[in-house]
Amino acid sequence: MKFFLFFGLFLLSINGFAKDPNFYVFLCFGQSNMEGNARIEAQDTLVDSRFQVLEATDCANLGRTKGKWYPAVPPLCRCKTGLTPADYFGRTLVANLPEKVKIGIINVAIGGCKIELFDKDNYQSYLATAPQWMLNMVKDYDGNPYGRLVEMAKLAQKDGVIKGILIHQGESNTNDTLWTKKVKLVYDNLMKDLKLKPKKVPLLAGELVSADQGGACASMNAIIGTLPKVIPNSYVISSTGCPAAKDHLHFLAEGYRTLGKRYAIQMLSLLGYPVADIK
């Protein structure tokens, strides 16, 4: 008995702390809709302490330090971004999972970027022709958003278990028939770099502003819809009926809340929870 106690303490000491199997971590990446475009409203500022965000940048204005966990009060991306699908994805999970389960989000996104920005082998050539305003945002991730996502994910793996990946991207790749293959490359790299098993880590991809909302890039949804043919463990989240902003590219806060809940409903189904009982 003493041996097992000693061995357990030894393992704890070399790991710093024990990984919590009930701390579910989700990686989020993409462009402006994942970054968060809608104004944060009063109702969005109250959050259950079981929902956490791993800050991916230093945000003095929020009192947050890169690589530390905080209650998931928006903004969840960078220091001055807005509401995202990740906000109500996490809230819906917390509301429907057992009390012992915590949810952690890591959100790395860059407005206006193509999926090529997350290609770890070719992102530098993409940035070579990127506009200065985009380069200014990329600087927050030391010039490598994919690298920062992996860096934060590895930290999170010390605390919990990565259960899934969320992407909302495609406006800047509209009508790019190779988009699904490019997404698969990013997904495969994440699996390798984080030592994850594709069968255990689903990819949830949200549609862009839909045609029923006058979506400027709605034609891309047909391509996004083919993603499960390329990545077997991937699922497309419908944006139909999600209210959009006047630019027809971004969602209103109400739209982000609805879309985030839809991401969560899909994830809850994959986790084995009855969709009919979702709160």
- The confidence score (pLDDT) of residue 11 equals 43
Contact 230, 167 (CB under 8 A): no
- The confidence score (pLDDT) of residue 6 equals 44
- The confidence score (pLDDT) of residue 103 equals 99
250 classed as catalytic: yes
Residue 64 has pLDDT above 80, yes or no: yes
- The confidence score (pLDDT) of residue 2 equals 45
Residue 9 has pLDDT above 80, yes or no: no
Residue 61 has pLDDT above 50, yes or no: yes
248 classed as catalytic: no
- Catalogue all structural domains in the chain, each as residue range(s) with its CATH number: 19-277 (3.40.50.1110)
Contact 237, 64 (CB under 8 A): no
Indicate the residue type of 104: G
User: Which of 207, 217, 203, 278 lies closest to 241 in space, CA to CA?
Assistant: 207
Q: Which among 13, 49, 247, 277 is annotated as catalytic?
A: 247
pLDDT, tens only, 97-134? 999 999 999 999 999 999 999 999 999 999 999 999 99
Band of pLDDT at residue 16, cut at 50, 70 and 90: very low
Q: Which among 32, 172, 234, 239 is annotated as catalytic?
A: 32
- The confidence score (pLDDT) of residue 277 equals 72
- The confidence score (pLDDT) of residue 98 equals 96
CA 173 vs CA 146, 208, 270: distances in Å:
18, 11, 28
Encoded tokens for 132 = 């200065």
Phi, psi values for residue 27, rounded to 5°: -95, 135
Band of pLDDT at residue 18, cut at 50, 70 and 90: confident
